[in-house]
Amino acid sequence: MSERPVAPDRRRSSVGSTASGGGAGPNDPGGAGRRSRTVVSVAVVDSLVGARLRLHVDGVAAGGACVARHEGRVVFVRHALPGERVLAVVTEDRERYLRADAVEIEDASPDRVPAPCPYATPGRCGGCDWQHATGVAQRRLKAEVIAQQFARIAGLDLDGTVGPLTVEELPGGLLGWRSRITFAVDAAGRPGLHRHRSHDLEHVASCPLGVVGVGDTPALARSWPGQTGIEAVRGDGPEVTLLAHRPGPGRQARGRRPPDRVSVVEGPPEVRHTVLGRPYTVAAGGFWQVHPAAADAFAQALLDALAPQPGERVVDLYAGSGAFTVVLADAVGPSGSVIGVESAAGAVADAERNLADRPWARIQRARVDAGLVAGLVAEVGPPDLVVLDPPRAGAGADVLRALTAAGPRAIGYVSCDPATLARDVAAAVGAGWRLAGLRAFDAFPMTAHVECVATLRPETHPDRADHSP
Ligand SMILES: C[S@@+](CC[C@H](N)C(=O)[O-])C[C@H]1O[C@@H](n2cnc3c(N)ncnc32)[C@H](O)[C@@H]1O
């Protein structure tokens, strides 16, 4: 529901094109990523950007906004909560939807709290989505989003499939959990954090999400000319490593920046972590779960769900520095085997070092795809268990079909994106498997991000006993 807006004074161009579509992408408001194209028509239409709308906010949407309606169009409203009546300023006007920031809360949700961070307000830092909600409400909203994604993308009713989902809290609270933050650096060398959907930076004095030494790194008070980012990283110890990001060589498609060159500026080049009591050493610039309690929680969830047995064969895809590979190797013991697959050379080197005492586990440098899965099965035989933990894009339907065809007794899928997880679960279900379990963890408090651990099992498995719960 909405009132008519105050007439906006801005207008937008609608650009027709024979080739590459409309204007710059949502993360490219300055047009830095535009490529040349043939403009066949230019129409000027009214835009609501800048208009103030009175909105009744309905449910939550993926990505840290809530949903409202204005004259039949969906409005994605940030800084709001379901059930609230707000005054919101339109920040983006698209053909089928609007984006807006709630700037005045006329009827507040009981879940609302004052944001602890002074930068977490409309138009300022875009790093957090839910600073204005209690922790309980944040986790409830994330559970709702996961359920929505599974219903919409996989056609699965989670309540009916695995029972009501709760997002589990990790120890440590809502603040002071980020063990790694990359601050962007502007053309003048000043570090900061990006505003929401913008290249502009908020020059924060500190970030309360960071652990001590990371969120309040002295690097924020320094100038970093010629760099694209400055990253502060801490392992289990008190030492903090600073990494400089410089523009990488070459060009990327669609105006994207090539990957940065990353080098240590100060602090130890390697950091130490533990998972379920086991020690790991990882390059400071390498991959590790950002929340200090996350690797333990996910590894234990995998053990609980899959119950790996001595002597079993396990494949650990997207293995990173071996966080799960080591734990799985200990579970199957020397009579079993674990093969980890990872594409990044540095992570492979770290994983090899972390696995050195377990010769029945090895790491293979390769890109995971359906062909690699088929090749592994041909080389070492069908696995009993598969673990996968892909980046946000997910593994893809082809990989899931290849994994289910390999015939393991179960698959444990760790995912930081419920949408791509739902897509991949749907592929497994299409291959005659079922979603047998789903846990979710609040590994990114104050943000809209959430981590899931899904268990997939074949509908029936004639050959092998399944020891897991
Ligand atoms: C989310 S991380 C998981 C790492 C590890 N499981 C952990 O928890 O520390 C994903 C990893 O997949 C790797 N990766 C990304 N795409 C890949 C691909 N196509 N094939 C193999 N590894 C890939 C990345 O380098 C990264 O180490």
Hey, where are the domains in the chain? Answer: 11-112, 180-269, 291-458
Q: Say whether 303 sits in a helix, a strand or coil.
A: helix
Give the pLDDT confidence of 76-123 residue by residue, as tens digits.
Answer: 999 999 999 999 999 999 999 999 999 999 999 999 999 999 999 999
Q: How many CB atoms are closer than 10 A to CB 64?
A: 21
Q: Whose CA is nearest to atom 12 of ligand 1?
A: 318
320 Cα to the center of ligand 1, angstroms: 5
Predicted confidence (pLDDT) at residue 144 exceeds the cutoff of 60: yes
Residue 32: predicted pLDDT: 31
What amino acid occupies position 103?
V
* Span 291-458 CATH architecture: 3-Layer(aba) Sandwich (3.40)
What is this structure's pTM?
0.89
Q: What pLDDT does 10 receive? A: 38
Q: Which atom of ligand 1 is nearest to the CA of 316?
A: 6
**Token pair for 304:** 């609980």
Q: Which atom from ligand 1 is nearest to the alpha carbon of 390?
A: 10
Residue 128 known to be catalytic: no
| Nearest-angstrom CA–CA distance, 318 and 103 | 42
Angstrom distance (rounded) from CA 377 to CA 380:
6
- Give the angle subtended at the CA of 309 by the CAs of 308 and 315, to the nearest 5°: 50
Q: Are 256 and 246 in contact (CB under 8 A)?
A: no
| Ligand 1: centre distance to CA 451 (Å) | 15
Which has more pLDDT, 452 or 6? 452
On whether the CB atoms of residues 105 and 78 are closer than 8 A, the answer is no
Atom of ligand 1 lying closest to residue 325 CA:
6
Q: Which of 117, 207, 416, 452 is catalytic?
A: 416
Digit-coded pLDDT (tens) for 337-367: 999 999 999 999 999 999 999 999 999 999 9
At 427, which amino acid appears? A
DSSP single-letter state for residue 417 = -
DSSP 35-72: ----EEEEEEEE--TT-EEEEE--SB-TTS-EEEEETT
Beta carbons within 8 Å of 439's beta carbon, 6+ residues apart: 168, 301, 305, 452, 453
Structure tokens at 382: 């069908």
* 11-112 CATH: 2.40.50.140
Q: What percent of the chain has pLDDT over 70?
A: 87
Calculate how far, in angstroms, residue 385's C-alpha sits from the geometric centre of ligand 1: 18
Q: Which of 287, 326, 413, 415 to mutate to test the pocket of ligand 1 (most atoms within 8 A of CB)?
A: 287
User: What's the mean per-residue pLDDT of the chain?
Assistant: 90
Place of tokens 């989670």: 158
Of 240, 116, 114, nearest to 174 (Cα)? 116
Q: Which of the listed residues 274, 342, 372 should we mutate to test ligand 1's pocket, taking the one with most ligand atoms within 8 A of CB?
A: 342
